[in-house]
């Protein structure tokens, strides 16, 4: 069932999609928190390094607060330095380390 708080938006420049974001929400009643989690965020390569990612992240934070979130989460790959910088620039802090192993 779709949560009416879900954010699924595109940032459009004229006829071009500059970026998009998808955010879901989860209530954790026992702890009195609502988590907004960025499930996917992307900026088209033609729009990177122009503040588009920053604009999307600020928009997400505003939308999350307006929709009742008390915590905003996101993740990125260890190799995605640009995304890591964006997250740090917008105030995110690491909270968990995940490991994986490719099995062949």
Report helix, strand or coil for 5.
coil
| DSSP state letters, 31-100 | GTEEEEEEEEEEE-GGGTTTTHHHHHHHHHHHHHHHTT-SEEEE---TT-HHHHHHHHHTT---------
State pTM to two decimals.
Answer: 0.88
Question: How many residues does the structure list for the chain?
Answer: 104
Q: Is residue 102 part of a domain?
A: no
CATH of the domain at 64: 3.40.630.30
Note down the domain range covering 66: 7-89
The tally of domains found in the chain comes to 1
pLDDT digits (tens, 9 = 90+) for 44-94: 999 999 999 999 999 999 999 999 999 999 999 999 999 999 999 999 999
Report helix, strand or coil for 21.
strand
């Amino acid at each position: 069932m779709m949560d009416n708080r879900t954010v699924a938006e595109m940032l459009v420049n004229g006829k071009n999609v500059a970026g998009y974001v998808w955010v879901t929400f989860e209530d954790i009643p026992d702890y009195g928190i609502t988590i907004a989690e960025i499930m996917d965020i992307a900026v088209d390569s033609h729009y990177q390094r122009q503040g588009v990612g920053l604009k999307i992240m600020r928009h997400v934070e505003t939308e999350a607060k307006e929709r009742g979130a008390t915590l905003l989460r996101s993740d990125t790959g260890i190799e995605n330095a640009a995304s890591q910088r964006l997250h740090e620039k917008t105030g995110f802090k690491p909270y968990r380390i995940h490991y994986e192993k490719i099995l062949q």
